[in-house]
Amino acid sequence: MSLPSMAIAPLPDCPWNALEMQHLTWLGAGLIILGIIGSAANGLLCAGCLLGVGIPGNRVDQGHRLLLLNLSVASLGTLLLAGFPFTGPSAIYGRWLFGNACCQLFAFLRQMFGLAQMVALVLLAVERYWLFHAITKERSRMLTLKGIAWAIASCWTVSIAVAIPPLIHWGRYACDSTRTTCELDWHMNGSGQVTYNLSYLLLGIIIPTSLIFFCLWRAYKVIKLLSIDTTDFSMADSLGQYFITKVVAFSAIGMYLSWLPRAILVFWTMVLKDVEKNNIPTGLKIISPLFVEASTIIPLIVYTSMGSHVRNTILGIFKRSTMKSRHGMIRLQMK
């Protein structure tokens, strides 16, 4: 293969082989297109949430809007500050364009916003679980807006704290498998890198994932126990809360499915020997960042497909209507 068809590595100590420029051009174009769509989708979701926050009404709905707004902000950060404005042009050009210092900053932001997305999903799932737990336990307290605000602040504090160690040489930020952008180095080289990667895998991925699906499973069990789908439930707007719980569950499942190629790539990077890592299929290296970018669109797709009132609100945004609906964007109504 001729040299002009291969990407030139701009970053030092990058163990990955260069990909063909044709593949990188398609990757860059896909990242830019998905990034623009994802930014618009999360911008709409933020607008809908903000139109609901502060409007007197159901406190449970207001808390859910705040948590969904938190997820949308994390997704916007991933897209705009640690996403396609940098990764798209770099992939098209065939190398990282912004220097080693910016590489470290970019990887830090990518790690921070990525964990913030994960923790935001955890908070949404815990809020659903706690809602139905409080309903079934007379002495249990509902989550307050102040408590939710503290939880969101903790989400960002933890995300920043976890992203800092590779900057001070516990763990490492380096080139990704396409050699065109920067991220956490999942190669298991050196004790510091091994301990950080395993700690992050446990505390930043396995435990949050377990919490998300445990909470949603418990919420589903309570819903089934109380026959909420047949309205045998004493809480006002029980069907609305049931539908919100469903869309949170489908959003989480959809985002995890989008993250699956990335998870496979990370797993292979961790377990394969250095010589074998370059045998990882090129297709996996290409679709992994594309699917991660596409995952930011999932919540809006789920909310608009399952909630007719969400669609009406989005149409209202485009029509510049006043949108004085008492329930804002997230009061779901099934067809």
CATH at 155: 1.20.1070.10
Residue at 91: amino acid letter: A
Give the mean model confidence (pLDDT) for residues 191-202: 94
Residue 287 has pLDDT above 90, yes or no: yes
Specify the range with the lowest mean pLDDT, choosing from 9-13, 67-71, 109-113, 327-331. 327-331
Residue 183 has pLDDT above 80, yes or no: yes
Specify the range with the lowest mean pLDDT, choosing from 8-17, 97-106, 249-258, 319-328. 319-328
Give the range of the structural domain holding residue 198, as residue numbers without chain letter.
18-318
pLDDT-derived band at 5 (thresholds 50, 70, 90) equals very low
Q: Is residue 314 part of a domain?
A: yes
> Whole-angstrom Cα distance, residue 33 to residue 210?
32
Quote the tokens at residue 147. 């408590």
Judge contact between 115 and 191, C-beta under 8 A: no
Residue 84 has pLDDT above 70, yes or no: yes
Q: Is residue 332 part of a domain?
A: no
Residue 60 has pLDDT above 80, yes or no: no
* Apex 131 CA angle, 150 and 143, nearest 5: 25
So what's the pLDDT on residue 132?
77
User: What per-residue string of b and e applies to 170-196 under the rule 16 or more CB within 10 Å gives b?
Assistant: ebbbbbbbbbbbbbbbbbeeeeebeeb
Q: Is residue 334 part of a domain?
A: no
Give the mean model confidence (pLDDT) for residues 197-205: 95
- Top pLDDT among 136 and 251 is at 251
So what's the pLDDT on residue 130?
86
Q: Is residue 196 part of a domain?
A: yes
Q: Is residue 323 part of a domain?
A: no
Q: Is residue 189 part of a domain?
A: yes
Q: What's the mean pLDDT when you consider all of the chain?
A: 82
Residue 170 has pLDDT above 80, yes or no: yes
So what's the pLDDT on residue 333?
44
pLDDT-derived band at 96 (thresholds 50, 70, 90) equals very high
> Whole-angstrom Cα distance, residue 142 to residue 127?
9
Quote the tokens at residue 77. 């950060």
Q: How many residues are there in the chain? A: 335
Q: Is residue 2 part of a domain?
A: no
pLDDT-derived band at 108 (thresholds 50, 70, 90) equals very high
Residue 260 has pLDDT above 90, yes or no: yes
- Top pLDDT among 321 and 169 is at 169
In this structure, the strands spanning 182-184 and 173-175 are: antiparallel
Residue 227 has pLDDT above 80, yes or no: no
- Top pLDDT among 36 and 233 is at 36
Which spans in the chain are helix H? 21-52, 59-80, 84-93, 99-136, 145-163, 191-200, 207-225, 238-271, 274-277, 282-294, 298-306, 308-318
Quote the tokens at residue 194. 């091994």
Q: Torsion angle, CA of 101/105/110/115, rounded to 10 degrees?
A: 140
Burial of 141 (0-12, 13-18, 19+ CB in 10 A): exposed
Beta-ladder partners of 173: 184
Provide the terminal-to-terminal Cα distance of the chain, rounded to the nearest Å: 56
Percent of the chain residues past pLDDT 90, beyond the cut? 54
Quote the tokens at residue 110. 């990518």
Q: Is residue 1 part of a domain?
A: no
Q: What is the pTM of this model?
A: 0.85
* Apex 105 CA angle, 84 and 160, nearest 5: 100
Give the mean model confidence (pLDDT) for residues 30-48: 92
Domains in the chain, number: 1
pLDDT-derived band at 55 (thresholds 50, 70, 90) equals very low
